[in-house]
Homo-oligomer: A and B are copies of this chain.
Amino acid sequence: MRPTVHDIAERAGVSLATVDRVLNDRPGVRAVTRAKVEAAIAALGYVRDVAAANLAKGRVYPLVFIVPAGENPFMRGLEAEIRHAGRHSAAERTRLSVVTVPAFDAAALAAAIDAAAASDDTAGIAAVAVDAPEVAAAIARAREAGIPVVTLVSDLAASGRDHFVGVDNVAAGRTAGSLMGRFLGGRPGPVAVLAGSMRVRDHRDRLEGFLAAMAAMPVARQVLPVLEGQDDPAVSRRLIAGLLAATPDLAGIYSLGAGNGGLVAALSGRSDICVIAHELTADTRAALETGVIDAVLNQDAGHEVRSAARVLRAKADGLPVVAAQERIRIDIFIRENLPPAAEEDERSGAGLYQGD
């Protein structure tokens, strides 16, 4: 059986109260006594029963997630994951809530952060950041009020946030470029890039990585000027249609933002162009299956949500974060390793695999 505080007390020859003082480092213990207790802890290999401890503490961690509103399927999947995690977060004594704000609206986001920070029972904030000074200021205010803040999916390093939960977008772009280059092989023709907006940090990062990888390929290849679809399916569709008309020898398209529904519609079944997109959603999944999209790079929203919750709790408790453990992986999906669509049990997400 696992040793308990009682065992430590007995072994160290002290009382339970003293053990408690050492464990939760409360004052009033002599150095020698503390050493004795710590020796006993080490000797017995004692580990605190977190479940019992949390039960006794009765503490809960109300965490607020702020995500952009709108039709962006990835964001809706993210929201679904938050709600899903919220329903199963009882054991971790964590309470998750979701706030949506208009996409790309820095003022609204800043206001939402301020509101969350103003609430007396907010233990932490996770926000999909918009790259703007007022957002950075709001995050700084929250942190000054003692509330930990993490950025989610899209970073804002200048804000002084406690942590960023998301993928390395430069690496993601490099991965896309490498795959594009290998898939195309010696085939001639230029490559196009469809982004949401160059004002968004993660899109800029992905482009940078993609260009670097393309440049490093043995075969030089022309990359056309970036198209900005505003993450909007209708705009994207128009842009891609124009591109196809103007560039008959187009070899590939890298879609580094959202709005892939429009991209797929514009391609209307053409599988001769090598297409690489981001985020596994209903649109991209279907296009992978039909061969219109060749590869999808994905960040697992479920992992991100759980990582954000873990980090915020650790910060709230003043505990260190194991960075290596919180790294979000860049998943590559092709048709053959596509996970089966989930049976839509209780979440409305894109049907991603949910690990643990």
Q: Is the CB of A336 within 8 A of B55?
A: no
The reply on A324 being an interface residue by CB < 8 A is yes
Q: Is the CB of B307 within 8 A of A327?
A: no
**Chain A positions 81-102 with a Cβ under 8 Å from a chain B Cβ:** 90-91, 93
Q: Is the CB of A339 within 8 A of B334?
A: no
CB distance from A216 to the nearest CB of B (A): 10
* Contact among B51, B52, B334, B354 with A332 in the assembled complex (CB-CB below 8 Å): B334
Q: Is the CB of B327 within 8 A of A332?
A: no
> Closest 10 CB pairs between A and B?
A185-B185, A51-B51, A175-B336, A332-B332, A330-B337, A174-B336, A175-B337, A178-B336, A306-B356, A50-B91
Q: Is the CB of A327 within 8 A of B353?
A: yes
Identity of the chain B residue whose Cβ is nearest the Cβ of A52 in the assembled complex? B55
Q: 25 A-B contacts, Cβ less than 8 Å apart?
A: A2-B90, A49-B55, A49-B90, A49-B91, A50-B91, A51-B52, A51-B54, A51-B55, A91-B91, A175-B336, A175-B337, A182-B182, A184-B185, A186-B186, A307-B356, A324-B342, A324-B343, A324-B345, A324-B354, A329-B355, A330-B337, A332-B332, A332-B334, A332-B337, A356-B356
The reply on A179 being an interface residue by CB < 8 A is yes
Residues of A near any B CB (own CB < 8 A): 2, 47, 49-52, 54-55, 90-91, 93, 171-172, 174-175, 177-179, 182-187, 213, 294, 297, 303, 306-307, 310, 322, 324-325, 327, 329-337, 339-340, 342-343, 345, 353-356
Residues of B near A55 (CB, < 8 A) are 49, 51-52, 55
Q: Is the CB of B339 within 8 A of A329?
A: yes
Identity of the chain B residue whose Cβ is nearest the Cβ of A172 in the assembled complex? B337
Residues of B near A182 (CB, < 8 A) are 182-183, 294
Residues of B near A51 (CB, < 8 A) are 51-52, 54-55, 91, 93
Q: A49-B55, A178-B334, A325-B354 are in contact. List 18 more A-B contacts (CB 8 A).
A: A55-B55, A171-B336, A175-B334, A175-B336, A175-B337, A178-B336, A182-B182, A183-B183, A213-B336, A324-B340, A324-B354, A327-B339, A329-B339, A329-B353, A332-B332, A332-B334, A355-B355, A356-B356
A13 to B216, CA, bound (A): 73
A342 to B325, CA, bound (A): 9
CB distance from A253 to the nearest CB of B (A): 16
A164 to B294, CA, bound (A): 30
Residues of B near A178 (CB, < 8 A) are 334-336
Residues of B near A2 (CB, < 8 A) are 90
CB distance from A182 to the nearest CB of B (A): 5
A297 to B336, CA, bound (A): 12
